């Protein structure tokens, strides 16, 4: 306890990645991170990783609040704990934790419904860039020792910083048997895809599945479909190098739309499924045209399309004829995974090897100082996950 109470009151100066404005390249800056306040923890980050949502954030998604400390995937150690931390959280200094962007109170209408992971008490913290009390814990001193400038947080995490302050309701302690870099991969993309098959679609044995986009989210969906016994798992990606990755996770068929012979993707999916389409499709790219293809690729009447991708466009036109087929279209954040009830189960599945191949996600590793290199690596067709060492 002495560690927590002595460091509790101190400001920490450390390196963090700041985006100064829409479209600007992120910069590594020396920033100030305040001590945690009541009900908060300060986390010393160990690893973080890059997700396409971070690229969107630099363009002002989902709200243009700048300057902002980036990053929403990562894992770290609790360095100090604010006063009045809720006793049931059982968090302590030294715990290895994932900062999350959703909370779970287990008491609100949504949490008790069993139908959603979107808690009403601790919702997605995406729009203000501030802690729940409306203030920030991060700042930067610009030149000449003037007044510190407030920095905004990103998705209640801001993991691309050597230290970050998180509301304790948005923190999940992880089992020490899980390799620490894998925890970073589970903090967003892979879990979103896996969760969508497990918690949203509830893929059953013998069903047919199509996955649009074979990045970390898509590979999570492929893995989830395999674990839940899907008979046919069709992966779709324009990068031929993703074929091998998809197969490693359990993909049974591959479509490269660039080799299409003028057929649409949904037509090619139907060709592989006796003309019927699939039971479940997972749209992991956010590309508007693909959203329609993913919907049209599902079976009439019973097909479900779960959208997981994000983009900066304000709206998407949905083909009414596809909807007339009485298909279901659902959007999902974090694949329907509840951070307190389900994420630990997901971690157990990784430890007991029910979920395999997490190592296959790691394609590149960079130091925090090389963050711009990480953004370039995302354009590499072989890139799945860039791990950031803090
Ligand atoms: Zn993400
Ligand atoms: Zn709740």
Q: What DSSP letter does each residue of 269-336 carry, written as one string?
A: HHHTTTTS-BSEEEE-S--HHHHHHHHHTBPTTT-EEEE----S-S-----HHHHHT--EEEE-SGGG
At residue 104, does pLDDT exceed 70?
A: yes
Q: Is 198 left (phi over 0), alpha (psi -120 to 50) or beta?
A: alpha
The position carrying tokens 């497990």 is 198
Among 205-214, 310-319, 326-335, 339-348, which is the least confidently predicted range?
310-319
How buried is 257 (Cβ within 10 angstroms: 0-12 exposed, 13-18 middle, 19+ buried)? middle
Ligand 2 centre distance from Cα of residue 190 (Å): 23
pTM for this prediction: 0.94
CATH ID of 2-173+357-389, from 3.90.180.10, 3.90.650.10, 3.40.640.10, 3.40.50.300: 3.90.180.10
pLDDT mean over 64-91: 88
Q: Please give the Cα distance from 377 to 188 (Å, whole number).
A: 19
pLDDT value for 86? 58
Among 61-65, 171-175, 322-326, which is the least confidently predicted range?
61-65
pLDDT value for 342? 97
Ligand 1 centre distance from Cα of residue 72 (Å): 6
pLDDT value for 144? 67
Q: Which of 25, 23, 56 is nearest to 286 (CA)?
A: 56
249 or 381, higher pLDDT: 249
Q: Return the SS3 of 249.
A: helix
At residue 89, does pLDDT exceed 70?
A: no
Question: pLDDT by residue (tens digit) across 14-51?
Answer: 999 999 999 999 999 999 999 999 999 999 999 999 99
- Nearest ligand to the C-alpha atom of residue 117: 2
Q: Which helix (H) or strand (E) holds 348?
A: helix 343-351
Ligand 2 centre distance from Cα of residue 339 (Å): 11
Ligand 1 centre distance from Cα of residue 310 (Å): 9
Tell me, rounded to whole angstroms, the distance of Cα 354 from its chain centroid.
Answer: 21
pLDDT value for 7? 56
Task: Give the list of residues 6+ apart from residue 97 with CB closer than 8 angstroms, or none.
Answer: 41, 43, 75, 76, 77, 78, 91, 171, 172, 173, 174
Tell me, rounded to whole angstroms, the distance of Cα 333 from its chain centroid.
Answer: 8
Q: Which of 150, 162, 156, 155 is nearest to 20 (CA)?
A: 150
For residue 252, CA distances in Å to 90, 231, 383 come to 43, 8, 21
CATH ID of 190-334, from 1.10.3720.10, 1.25.40.340, 3.40.50.720, 3.60.20.10: 3.40.50.720
Q: What values do phi and psi take at 56, rounded to 5?
A: -65, -40
At residue 87, does pLDDT exceed 70?
A: no
**pLDDT-derived band of residue 126, with 50, 70 and 90 as boundaries?**
confident
- DSSP letter at 197 equals I
- Nearest ligand to the C-alpha atom of residue 340: 2
Ligand 1 centre distance from Cα of residue 185 (Å): 9
Planar angle of CA 289, 26, 144, nearest 5 degrees: 150
Q: What residue spans define the domains of the chain?
A: 2-173+357-389, 190-334
Q: What values do phi and psi take at 255, rounded to 5?
A: -120, 125
pLDDT value for 3? 43
- Nearest ligand to the C-alpha atom of residue 333: 1
Ligand 2 centre distance from Cα of residue 293 (Å): 34
pLDDT value for 8? 58
Q: What is the mean pLDDT of the chain?
A: 93
Ligand 2 centre distance from Cα of residue 100 (Å): 14
**pLDDT-derived band of residue 357, with 50, 70 and 90 as boundaries?**
confident
Planar angle of CA 30, 34, 40, nearest 5 degrees: 130
- Nearest ligand to the C-alpha atom of residue 154: 1
């Amino acid at each position: 306890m002495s560690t927590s109470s002595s460091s509790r009151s101190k400001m920490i100066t450390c390196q963090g990645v700041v985006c100064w404005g829409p479209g600007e390249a992120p910069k590594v800056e020396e920033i100030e991170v305040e001590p945690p306040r009541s009900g908060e923890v300060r986390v010393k980050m160990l690893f973080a990783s890059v997700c396409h949502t971070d690229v969107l954030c630099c363009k002002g998604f989902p709200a243009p609040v700048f300057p902002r400390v980036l990053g929403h995937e990562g894992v770290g150690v609790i360095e100090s704990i604010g006063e009045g931390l809720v006793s049931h959280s059982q968090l302590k200094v030294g715990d290895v934790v994932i900062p999350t962007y959703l909370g779970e109170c287990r008491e609100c209408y949504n949490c008790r419904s069993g139908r959603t992971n979107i808690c009403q008490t601790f919702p997605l913290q995406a729009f203000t860039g501030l802690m729940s009390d409306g203030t920030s814990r991060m700042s930067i001193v610009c030149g000449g020792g003037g007044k510190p400038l407030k920095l905004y947080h990103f998705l209640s995490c801001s993991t691309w910083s050597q230290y970050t302050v998180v509301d304790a309701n948005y923190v999940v302690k992880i089992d020490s048997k899980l390799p620490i870099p894998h925890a970073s991969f589970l903090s967003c993309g892979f879990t979103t895809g896996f969760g969508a098959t497990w918690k949203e679609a509830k893929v059953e044995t013998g069903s047919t599945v199509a996955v649009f986009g074979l990045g970390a989210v898509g590979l999570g969906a492929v893995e989830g479909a395999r674990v839940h016994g899907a008979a046919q798992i069709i992966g779709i990606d324009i990068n031929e190098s993703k074929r091998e990755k998809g197969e490693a996770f359990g993909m049974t068929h591959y479509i490269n739309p660039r080799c299409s012979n003028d057929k649409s993707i949904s037509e090619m999916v139907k060709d592989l499924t006796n003309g019927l389409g699939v039971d479940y499709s997972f749209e992991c790219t956010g590309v508007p045209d693909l959203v329609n293809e993913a919907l049209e690729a599902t079976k009439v009447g019973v097909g479900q399309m779960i959208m997981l991708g994000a983009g900066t466009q304000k709206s998407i036109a949905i083909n009414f004829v596809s909807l007339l087929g009485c298909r279901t279209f659902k959007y999902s954040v974090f694949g329907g995974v509840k951070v307190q009830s389900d994420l630990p189960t997901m971690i157990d599945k990784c430890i007991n090897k029910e979920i395999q191949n997490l190592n296959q996600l790691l394609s590149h590793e960079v130091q925090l100082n090389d963050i711009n290199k990480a953004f370039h690596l995302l354009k590499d067709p072989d890139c799945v996950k860039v791990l950031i060492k803090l």
